[in-house]
Chains A and B, each alone.
Chain A
Amino acid sequence: MAALGEEFTLSAEALFAGPDGLLGVEPSDKTDHFLVTDRSRTVVLYKVSDQKPLGSWSVKQGQIITCPAVCNYQTGEHIVVHDNKVLRIWNNEDVNLDKVFKATLSAEVHKIHSIQGTEPLVLFEGGAVRGLEALLAEPQQKIEKVICDGEVIKWTKFFVVFRHPVLVFITEKDGNHYAYVQMFNSRNLSKYSLLLGQEEKSVTLNFTAYVDRKFISLMSLSSDGCIYETLIPIYPGDTEKNQRLVRSLLLKAVVSGITRNGVTLTALDQDHVAVLGPPLPSSKECLSIWNIKFQTLQTSKELPQGTSGQLWFYGENLFMLHGKCLTVVPYKCGSSSLAGALGKLKHTQDTGTQTMPHFVNWEMSQGCGLGSPNSEQPRILRRKKTEISLQPEVPASEQLLSTIKSGSEKHIEVELRKFLAKWTPDFHTAIGDILTGLLGRCKAEPSFYPQNCLMQLIQTHVLSYSLCPGLMDTALEKTDVQMLQLCLQQFPDIPESVTCACLKTFLSIGDDSLQGININMESIFDYSNTEQDEKMEEQSEILRNGFNAEKNYSNHNRDLSKKPQDSTEETSSCPVIPKRAALLRNAILHSAYSETFLLPHLKDLPAQDITLFLQYLYFLYLKCSENATMTLPGIHPPTLSQIMDWICLLLDANFTVVLMIPEAKRLLINLYKFVKSQISVYSELNKIEVSFREIQKLNQEKNNTGLYSIEVLELF
């Protein structure tokens, strides 16, 4: 996880920081030592951990330093260029720059590059590159011009790729940018023109780059506030000059789109980039670290005093001019967790509206369907493949999203059906986005409730509760039991509280309002059928799994047997109408739960609902015990243990309540009796188990052909 440390300033009295900031900050040969060159005449060597200068050198009045001082790692000397052509080389011990080694060159120097392990390279304004040694051997040698007239070098960077020094520089001519890659060892120069892609109006402000295996990933910050990425091959594929490179959008809206000098970026590592600039038009300048891979803002730091729009990054330190002071911000990138990466996206929306979750599918982040319905959200995360692509058509999901925002319910439905008909690689994310869009509009417009669309979306089987937490809440609000049933059947991760809320709704909704709703009645009709049969057969005393309801009552409880009709009624007819039964049986009983979490929510059920539900469960229990296999008829019936668990849970949660309700008393007694009789049946079964086994053995012996027989066998 990337993090910024506490900033500190380096004493800056020796520096003259003009309005354009510093000329440069360059590392020295010792760790923690840095050479800072200002815009006028001074070079200062700082030790950062001590926050103090170790040495300071100035050129004569009248001379002006034109190129930041660098360290020659091979000799430990410092090199600086003043007045474009004069090279000075000195040691830490030297005091006066006037007296040190001097070489006057024949062409103007743009920059000297030096990194550990290689000879410093001198880049001339004309684009030519020379090694320092070769140059010093013959300072007045002729320097050729590589770039065209009118082309100006805007940015340069020096890498070592597989031990080969590679110099990249970007030039600009008439608003067009060109990239040059100079392989220093092979003296191979490749030129590429950078195309802007579709975003024509923007002006590229700043560049940074890092090496990604065989490519140099050049990131550019545009005036529209987006970061674009261009991949430049290190080893040119063909010899054709003037190849074209297309940039692709990497991060959108990292800074506000004002064309100002105070924005810059620096690549920190493969995944992180530091951006300096105001995130919003009105806000102060910020230093922010972005994770490119996950497209998230990792951390940011406000810089109220303004910056010069320059940022350097060496080792673990970010250098910038904050106000008048040279400020160092330590940067550290620890191992990151997903949660951390998802972390600090700042929501700058109005606090009144609830923010919608965004879907990031890690497997398919190249998808372009990540649009959000709200275009004012500043940081939309995108990443495109770096392929050279033509203008992509507006994705179907985005079209649909815009329809959702304003279209009529009918229209949305038609569009959605079209969308669902074709499968796209980012289907998951698109579905999520569409659902979020729909729910957002539901919230905003109470009259808007596109039930059909939502049902269709749920039936795609890609959604889960955690992907759209608002959905069930909305459905609960609207008491849309049909939708709730579907959700309960489809979603694997519904929290117990929501399950319980659904249960409450299912139990409390009026019979007449249920009648009008279309509910999945799977397997419920089987019931009513058997119910009918049952009533007829009841007369002829069938023995149900060793238990006869009527008999039992008369034998065990004389006083209750006064109303045998009543009790039979209770046990054999379903206490709820089939639609409610369907809801309870097919949705609630099958839902996954954890007892500890469900129990407290069950306590909130009103007393009538408890009785009703208990009655229904008791009914199911009886139905279950009617056949030998102890199962209910129909497809996917709840198991006996599921039913028993719910009975136990319900009683556990509401025991005192149930005891107090007079209507429940009979139910409890019946339940108790039935369970008791079942227990006695089982114990009897256990007692006669041995006899069973003997019977089985006898049966087997009957089937057995005996100890000896002669049979006919034919082999085919």
Chain B
Amino acid sequence: MGEFKVHRVRFFNYVPPGIRCVAYNNQSNRLAVSRTDGTVEIYNLSANYFQEKFFPGHESRATEALCWAEGQRLFSAGLNGEILEYDLQALNIKYAMDAFGGPIWSMIASPSGSQLLVGCEDGSVKLFQITPDKIQFERNFDPQKSRVLSLSWHPSGTHIAAGSIDYISVFDVKSGSAIHKMIVDRQYMGVSKRKCIVWGVAFLSDGTVISVDSAGKVQFWDSATGTLVKSHLIANADVQSIAVADQEDSFVVGTAEGTVFHFQLVSVTSNSTEKQWVRTKPFQHHTHDVRTVAHSPTALISGGTDTHLVIRPLMEKVEVKNYDAALRKITFPHRRLISCSRKRQLLLFQFAHHLELWRLGSTAATGKNGDILPLSKNADHLLHLKTKGPENIICSSISPCGSWIAYSTASRVFLYRLNYEHDNISLQRISKMPAFLRSALQILFSEDSTKLFVASNQGSLHIIRLLEGSFKHLHTFQPQSGTVEAMCLLAVSPDGNWLAASGTSAGVHVYNVKHLKLHCTVPAYNFPVTALAIAPNTNNLVIAHSDQQVFEYSIPDKQYTEWSRNVQKQGFHHLWLQRDTPITHISFHPKRPMHILLHDAYMFCIIDKSLPLPNDKTVLYNPLPPTNESDVFRRRTGHAFKISKIYKPLLFMDLLDEGTLVAVERPLDDIIAQLPPPIKKKKFGT
């Protein structure tokens, strides 16, 4: 099949930021996740948990609360005291509004979705009315003595519960006055000095308020009388989050020890109507604090400092064995953070606030499968480019020739020219970027490095011609009339004639760059596109979707290729469809037109279109080299999918030249090593 020299790179020192909030939207089955650096990601749970949208973070914006309101509108609030609304179409921030209460610790939408409630540092609880295009301050509730860390609305909308330090207040929404103040026991492991922080509250329709606090307790309060009904001590550390199912028959809490507990409302005896809350299942999928939990109808969702987003399906709620039945642990973003220059063998790593440029080493030796070759030259760190301003980098790219670097933040696009003189490199910033290039979601250079393609968040695509040290705007493809959907993925054909662009939901548009017009649109598919590439010579567009389907579409013929039709007719191998990370990169072999190279986080695969497709009976992944069996046997068992699982977690893999690959791995242990130490637990003699 082929022998490659693989540059195995593990120096991409990427640490995903910890998860701070998750918010589940039942209506669209989407999950919003905010991270400690202010990044907000939207996962489509119906589309195999694909991360379909993201909003870049901002240094000063630490999100503390995230919620959906008015159906599909997403709001967040943070310690800078601002409430933000996100534009899910254009993928930018619609507006930011100061609540004037100091840092905001908590925010929740009313059961009807028309009002927002925020809890602030100064002890105020503020009610905002959601108008069609903005939010409007309505009034303050009775001020509290200390910061309001958690809020919950009674399902009827008449009362709210607010958790502060050492107590929980119950407010009447109409009058805005506190009707009960329930003091939480401060006692912590027998010591009663510490303050008891109420990290989360949940108001049930029968008037019960459930609170979780820093003393490791889950407590049930009667809001009518303001009395403690029941108390469960579940952890030696803080219980930091709570989420209740819509049916109010189960809820989930997350602790600082990394444990998630499931509570269920269970009949006391069979056939009796009397029910009580019982702690049913503990899950330990996290090593660090579980900062936030959510409860979808079929799964428990948790996230925390250890940066994993864990989706644990409730097996009793799952009916069919499909994607929903498997435990998901999402650690890495579903977009590319790495680009490479084939000609100069350079890798560009994108971090939140800087870029790193590395040159790969080389070797003269050869070897057989599995050998580690002696290096004649090690990899060099060429450049460390810090961004200006507090905004995170959205996307970045290095040109194939290695002499251009472009990146974009939420407000500006930057373009640099690199000059190589022997071992020295000089960097020259191209100033005076055109005004319309405010923010880009994706940047791509053409194969010959003469053109730059920029997908802006307004849905338009700009083509810029690069000249030595300057540039010229060539053309802008405007979005289809009436749509403002942002394009997130771009692909250009090696001959530079075709440009493919895909948004988050609609189909893939193919533009003719020569004639500067829309060539065709690939029929829309139910699942979002995760990767795009155009093959050399044939100009076949290969599209990977989040349900693990791969299509090949002939651009000149404006139809799916014969091979793609065959694949669809026969179907993919069931193990292929059961993979749980999306394909994030597709590339081609310049000398072998029948090969498609693609990878996800846990495997790298070469699809050989000339070989028969595997059916469900054949072994999809066979890591062992075939023993000296006859060619006949090899031909009989051989199939189109050649898979390697040596490199994982694999963030990037590309072909540098005919016989050389580059693989960028990010071992989880290296990430854990950079996280703060978890709460220490006894290991021996337990």
Contacts and interface: CB of A to CB of B under 8 A. Distances in A.
- B partners with A: yes
Interface of A: 678-679, 681-683, 685-686, 689, 700, 705-716
Interface string B667-686: 00100000000000011110
Nearest to B624: A716
A689 B9 CA distance: 32
B534 to A, nearest CB: 23
A707 B626 CA distance: 31
Contacts of A714: 1-4, 368-369, 625
Nearest to B370: A712
B372 interface: yes
Interface of B: 1-11, 361-363, 366-373, 375, 378-379, 606, 622, 625-626, 642-644, 646, 661, 669, 682-685
A713 B6 contact: yes
A681 B8 CA distance: 43
B680 to A, nearest CB: 9
Contacts of B622: 716
Contacts of A685: 683-685
Nearest to B667: A704
Contact of A712 (B9, B373, B375, B642): B373
Nearest to B358: A708
B11 A707 contact: yes
Contact of B361 (A683, A710, A712): A710
Nearest to A708: B379
B6 A711 contact: yes
16 contacts: A686-B682, A686-B684, A689-B683, A707-B9, A708-B7, A708-B11, A708-B375, A709-B372, A710-B6, A710-B373, A711-B373, A712-B373, A713-B369, A714-B4, A715-B3, A716-B642
A713 B375 contact: no
A712 B373 CA distance: 7
Contacts of B5: 710-713
Q: Which 10 A-B pairs have the closest CB atoms?
A: A682-B685, A714-B369, A685-B684, A707-B11, A715-B1, A715-B642, A714-B3, A712-B367, A707-B10, A710-B373
A706 B2 CA distance: 26
A713 B5 CA distance: 6
B683 A712 contact: no
A593 to B, nearest CB: 24
B8 A689 contact: no
A711 B685 contact: no
Given A709-B375, A711-B371, A712-B4, A686 B685 contact: yes
Contacts of B683: 685-686, 689
Nearest to A678: B685
B685 A713 contact: no
B11 A716 contact: no
Contacts of B642: 715-716
Given A711-B370, A711-B373, A700 B669 contact: yes
A712 B367 CA distance: 7
A710 B8 contact: yes
A689 B682 CA distance: 9
A210 B236 CA distance: 68
Given A682-B684, A707-B11, A715-B643, 4 more contacts: A711-B8, A712-B373, A713-B6, A715-B1
Nearest to A686: B684
Contacts of B372: 705, 709-711
A710 B371 CA distance: 9
Nearest to B371: A712
Most chain A CB neighbours (cut-off 10 Å) among B370, B378, B685: B685
Contacts of B7: 708, 710
Contacts of B6: 710-713
B6 to A, nearest CB: 5
Nearest to A679: B685
A712 to B, nearest CB: 5
A280 to B, nearest CB: 41
Contacts of B371: 711-712
B345 to A, nearest CB: 11
A438 to B, nearest CB: 39
Contacts of B644: 713, 715
Contacts of B661: 713
A216 to B, nearest CB: 37
Contacts of A715: 1-4, 606, 642-644
Contacts of A706: 10
Contacts of B626: 716
B369 A712 contact: yes
A497 to B, nearest CB: 28
A683 B3 contact: no
Most chain A CB neighbours (cut-off 10 Å) among B1, B3, B378, B684: B684
Nearest to B376: A710
A546 to B, nearest CB: 11
Contacts of A686: 682-685
A682 B683 CA distance: 9
B283 to A, nearest CB: 24
Most chain B CB neighbours (cut-off 10 Å) among A681, A689, A710: A710
A708 B8 contact: yes
A710 B622 CA distance: 23
B8 A709 contact: yes
A708 B606 contact: no
A681 B685 CA distance: 9
A678 B684 CA distance: 11
Most chain B CB neighbours (cut-off 10 Å) among A679, A700, A712: A712
A710 B7 CA distance: 5
B649 to A, nearest CB: 15
Contacts of B643: 715
Nearest to A690: B680
Contacts of B9: 707-708
A685 B626 CA distance: 47
Nearest to B11: A707
B647 to A, nearest CB: 9
A712 B368 contact: yes
A181 B104 CA distance: 86
Contacts of B606: 715
Contact of A716 (B625, B682, B685): B625
Contact of B375 (A683, A700, A710, A716): A710
Contacts of B373: 709-712
Contacts of A716: 1, 622, 625-626, 642
Contacts of B646: 713
A678 B642 CA distance: 53
Contacts of A711: 5-6, 8, 370-373
Nearest to B638: A716
Contacts of A678: 685
Contacts of A700: 669
A714 B370 CA distance: 8
A683 B5 CA distance: 50
A679 B682 CA distance: 13
Contacts of B10: 706-708
B16 to A, nearest CB: 19
A118 B355 CA distance: 95
A548 B366 CA distance: 55
A311 to B, nearest CB: 37
A705 B685 contact: no
Contacts of B366: 712
A713 B642 CA distance: 12
Contacts of A708: 7-11, 361, 375, 378-379
Given A712-B371, A715-B642, A715-B644, A705 B8 contact: yes
Contacts of B375: 708-710
A711 B661 CA distance: 10
Nearest to A689: B683
Nearest to B4: A713
A681 B362 CA distance: 51
A714 B367 CA distance: 10
Contacts of A707: 9-11
Nearest to B626: A716
Nearest to A684: B684
A485 to B, nearest CB: 34
A679 B642 CA distance: 54
